[in-house]
Amino acid sequence: MKAYSVNIIGLSNKVHHFDYEVGDRFFSEFDAGLITKGQFQVNVALNKHETFIEVDFGITGHATLTCDRSLDEFDHPIKVNRKVIFKYGDETREITDDVMMIDRGTVSLDLSQYIYEFIGLALPMKKLHPRFSEDENGEDEIMYSSSTQSEESTTPEEPVDPRWEKLKKLK
């Protein structure tokens, strides 16, 4: 997306700041459908050096999610701070999750995919409406405590072989 591209060829070697508004229209551009609604403020600090570019993303806002239990929509607050380093090289490829190699002739960086992925990674695995969050925590505790109690009660005390008792005394 052109609106989220930064022309790096004309930037001097210093820190540059960019602010973006991300909304429903932004999410409709992506086919994944992971996020369809939300409102976010994205602050980008791009620090250009001779051999690499360091990009800090500060993303705050909310995503409108559908509850897995009741199918009600609710706003889930999200705050993300991530860093990506773009190193200059002979080809464009991903080195690690946070380090990318870009061709020396790269004119601009499209930040839209990074913004979308960072917001997507901040989403909870279980999308529960806030009114169910206390119920969910209680169920986990009950299930955990009952499983530990049942394990202890099902393992009867077995008599120890007298030969092992003598070996334990040697310590």
Q: Is residue 10 in a domain?
A: yes
Domain that holds residue 31: 2-121
pLDDT at 121: 94
Q: What is the pLDDT of residues 97-122, one digit of tens each?
A: 999 999 988 899 999 999 999 999 99
Whether residue 158 lies inside any domain: the answer is: no
CB 56 within 8 A of CB 45: yes
Whether residue 103 contacts residue 160, with contact meaning beta carbons closer than 8 Å, is answered with no
Instruction: For residue 129, tell me if it sits in a domain.
Output: no
Tell me what pLDDT residue 94 has. Answer: 93
Long-range contacts of 132-139 (CB under 8 A, 24+ apart): 132/67, 132/69, 132/70
Predicted confidence (pLDDT) at residue 52 exceeds the cutoff of 80: yes
**Domain count of the fold of the chain:** 1
User: Whole-angstrom Cα distance, residue 99 to residue 96?
Assistant: 5
Q: Is residue 55 part of a domain?
A: yes
In the chain, the DSSP E strands lie at 5-7, 15-22, 37-48, 52-66, 73-89, 93-94, 99-103, 108-110
pLDDT at residue 149 in the model: 52
Is residue 147 included in any domain, yes or no?
no
Q: Is residue 31 part of a domain?
A: yes
Of residues 89 and 141, which shows the higher confidence score?
A: 89
Q: d(Cα 12, Cα 9) in Å, to the nearest integer?
A: 8
